[in-house]
């Protein structure tokens, strides 16, 4: 992405420079024709820039403090002021584009973070729901096991009627667990209980 963006940024810089040249030329012409524009827009920044430049050069070259800095003549001040204004416009446009790109990236990252957080919340909710469902099923399994043990205790000690020598006798018999024994009787018992309700 950065490799692709770099030539676009260079191209954008070139476009801004090309756009600024006509703007600077228009400003120069307006400065020559308009007293207000020349006096208050172009010349003061040019004179200030000249003053700062002379001070900086004197300090860098260690030539001492300049006592009197000569001001630029009107033509040079108008030219320099128009150039400064054109560069200021270029800088402002570039700064605005940079700010807009930064705010777009921030919005994009915020949306991505929000989507990630929402996905994490959904996953946490699903995990919690699965945990509670597993707990409910565990409780149901325990209840079924308790009921099965209770039924098993009822079925295992089932008295059986036998006729021996013409007399009816009751004795306990343990039914077989498989092949229709204990499990089948438990199921039948559950069906009977269900029909009673």
User: What is the percent of the chain where pLDDT is above 70?
Assistant: 70
Are the C-beta atoms of 69 and 54 separated by less than 8 Å? yes
Whether the predicted pLDDT of 99 surpasses 80: yes
Give the pLDDT confidence of 147-168 residue by residue, as tens digits. 887 777 776 555 555 554 555 5
Are the C-beta atoms of 184 and 155 separated by less than 8 Å? no
Q: What global pTM score does this model have?
A: 0.51
Whether the predicted pLDDT of 89 surpasses 80: no
The pLDDT assigned to 127 comes to 93
Beta bridge partners of 168: 163
The pLDDT assigned to 177 comes to 44
With left for phi above 0 and alpha for psi between -120 and 50, is residue 165 left, alpha or beta?
left
Q: Average per-residue pLDDT in the chain?
A: 76
Q: Say how many C-beta atoms besides its own lie within 10 A of residue 68's C-beta.
A: 5
| Nearest of 52, 43, 33 to residue 83 by alpha carbon | 43
> Whole-angstrom Cα distance, residue 192 to residue 187?
9
Taking the CA atoms of residue 117, residue 119, residue 124 and residue 128 in that order, the dihedral angle to the nearest 10 degrees is 140
> Whole-angstrom Cα distance, residue 35 to residue 30?
9
Q: What average pLDDT does this structure show over 118-134?
A: 94
- Would you place residue 176 in the very low, low, confident or very high pLDDT band (cuts 50, 70, 90)? very low
Length reported for the chain: 197
């Amino acid at each position: 992405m950065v490799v692709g963006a770099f030539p676009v940024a260079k191209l954008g810089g070139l476009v801004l420079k090309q756009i600024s040249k006509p703007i600077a030329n228009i400003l120069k012409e307006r400065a020559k024709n308009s007293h207000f524009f020349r006096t208050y827009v172009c010349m003061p920044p040019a004179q200030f820039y000249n003053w700062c430049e002379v001070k900086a050069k004197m300090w860098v070259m260690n030539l001492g403090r300049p006592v009197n800095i000569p001001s630029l003549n009107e033509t040079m001040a108008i030219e320099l002021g128009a150039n400064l204004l054109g560069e200021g416009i270029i800088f402002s446009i570039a700064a605005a584009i940079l700010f807009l790109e930064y705010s777009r990236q921030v919005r994009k990252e915020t949306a991505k973070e929000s989507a990630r957080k929402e996905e994490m919340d959904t996953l946490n909710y699903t995990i919690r729901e699965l945990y509670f469902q597993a707990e409910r099923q565990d409780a149901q399994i325990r209840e079924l096991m308790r009921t099965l043990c209770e039924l098993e205790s009822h079925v295992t000690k089932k008295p059986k009627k036998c006729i021996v020598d013409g007399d009816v006798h009751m004795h306990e018999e343990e039914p077989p667990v498989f092949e229709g024994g204990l499990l089948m009787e438990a199921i039948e018992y559950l069906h009977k209980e269900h029909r009673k309700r």
